[in-house]
Structure 1
Amino acid sequence: MCTMCEPTAPFKLTHSSSLDDYLSNNQVWSSNMQQTYPTLFTEYNSKGQDPHTLFIGCGDSRYNENCLGVLPGEVFTLKTVGNNINTGDLTTMSTLEFSVIYLKVNKIVIMGHTDCGAIKSCSDSNVYNNLSSNLHQYLKPINDLINEKRPELSELNEHEQMKQFSIYNIKKQYKTLTEIPLIKEYLENEKLEIMTLLYNVDTGLIEPVVC
């Protein structure tokens, strides 16, 4: 039997789900949202967006801005592999400019997570060296960071090392972000606050990362 084709609690869709399944799920979600927040769509979302936060996270399917307890309309989102902030990438840079200059968010959240596939791939040279060409190039800064920091973590077990590598990566992305002229200007003028956080996939809880 194809295990990917069978629904697994608490998930609603599977690899074999059809378009009708997606549409049906959406109808249930929309109905539930309207019952809980009757004016959200009609009085708020239908009249434009005014987000307060840009959320920069990993593309991992196990977390997103919803872990902050927010509703649609509160958070603009950028998700990349390994929550990597690549200043040479037009998507990343245009997202920063759009959210800060035009949407006027006053907070940016950089949130990494435990059990990160990008971190684990870069921590194993055999895996990293056999990645597809684009991923190998894209993850090189994270791979370099892990190779630099690895000697400091020799006394930790593998689970603790992976978590610490994720924390180091959050700090690296923070440094990259704060060196971007636009972000630096907004920080200096106190128009922007940056929060650095780690999401724990085994509890759903977030913890602050001091940069």
Structure 2
Amino acid sequence: MMPFERLLLENKAWAAEKVGEDPLFFKRLENIQQPDFLWIGCSDSRVPANEITGTQPGEIFVHRNVANLVINTDVNLLSVLDYAVNHLKVKHVIVCGHYGCGGVKAATTNHDYKYLLNMWLRNIKDVYRLHREELDAIHEPDERTNRLVELNVVEQLKNLAKTSIIQRAWKQENRPDLHGWVYGLKNGIINPLLDIKANTSLDPLYEYDDL
């Protein structure tokens, strides 16, 4: 059996189990999608949003990329954010990183990862630059990487708040709240770092006054 064929067999077994537990499970999912949460997470295969939060299909709208970045020129992410906020009307947006993140670790090196990865990781290097004094004072490499993971989540959460998509929803509907989390691969526990409530004041430089 080829590896991908095992996935198809597991899918059939999972679908049969769901129908056995609840005959109308897929009928409900087919006709409605009303998640309360948008999850912006890392593409790492060890951090599946539904499984680590104990949620079911239909409860979390998910976007994932390397090192859970929120970049103001990333049309993919912004399209997901726009759809989640303005059409699905999510009440919460979560940026979730994870300790031991390979993307964050790679950004702390001077290795050439070729054009595309270099361009992507540069955004994490910028986070390092903003917090260089604190990070350079951490001499243990894994501890430094994990602190950068936390600081990266905080900066990406702030990047969310700077978007007109979020600010317009704040002004018109007083939602969504923003949450920055880090997942622990060693223990499976999520560490909440920062919450930004709807309509939180930002640096005036980033606030839109005509939404």
Same fold (TM over 0.5): yes
Shift of 1:187: 2.7
2:93 is the alignment partner of 1:111: no
Superposed counterparts of 1:11-50, under 5 Å: 17-18=3-4, 20-42=5-27, 44-50=28-34
Q: What do the CA deviations read for 1:122-159 (whole angstroms, capped 9, x no partner)? A: 1112x2xx112011112212112224424313245222
Q: Give the Cα separation in 2 of the matches to 1:208 and 1:183.
A: 20
Name the structure 2 match of 1:87: 72
What percent identity do the matched residue pairs reach? 27
Name the structure 2 match of 1:52: 36
When normalised by structure 1's length, the TM-score is 0.84
Name the structure 2 match of 1:177: 160
Q: Give the Cα separation in 1 of the matches to 2:64 and 2:40.
A: 6
- SS of the aligned residue for 2:194 comes to coil
Change (3 A) 1:83 1:104: same
Shift of 1:191: 2.0
Please say if residues 179 and 194 of structure 2, whose CA atoms lie closer than 8 Å, have aligned partners that are also in contact: no
RMSD of aligned residue pairs (Cα, Å): 1.8
Shift of 1:55: 0.5
Name the structure 2 match of 1:124: 109
Q: Which runs of 5+ in 2 are unaligned?
A: 196-211
Q: Which runs of 5+ in 1 are unaligned?
A: 1-12
When normalised by structure 2's length, the TM-score is 0.84
Shift of 1:101: 0.6
Q: Give the Cα separation in 2 of the matches to 1:155 and 1:115.
A: 15
Instruction: Name the amino acid aligned to 2:98.
Output: H
Q: Give the Cα separation in 1 of the matches to 2:138 and 2:6.
A: 49
Instruction: Name the amino acid aligned to 1:17.
Output: P
Shift of 1:22: 2.0
Please say if residues 92 and 178 of structure 2, whose CA atoms lie closer than 8 Å, have aligned partners that are also in contact: yes
The list of structure 1 runs, each at least 4 consecutive aligned residues, that deviate by more than 3 angstroms after superposition, is: 35-39
Please say if residues 38 and 61 of structure 2, whose CA atoms lie closer than 8 Å, have aligned partners that are also in contact: yes
Instruction: Name the amino acid aligned to 2:41.
Output: G
Q: What do the CA deviations read for 1:161-188 (whole angstroms, capped 9, x no partner)? A: 1111000000110111000012022234
Shift of 1:69: 0.9
Name the structure 1 match of 2:186: 202
Name the structure 1 match of 2:123: 141
Q: Give the Cα separation in 2 of the matches to 1:39 and 1:162.
A: 46
Instruction: Name the amino acid aligned to 1:87.
Output: N
Q: Which of the residues 149, 153, 174 maps onto 1:190? A: 174
Please say if residues 37 and 94 of structure 2, whose CA atoms lie closer than 8 Å, have aligned partners that are also in contact: yes
Q: Give the Cα separation in 2 of the matches to 1:100 and 1:210.
A: 20
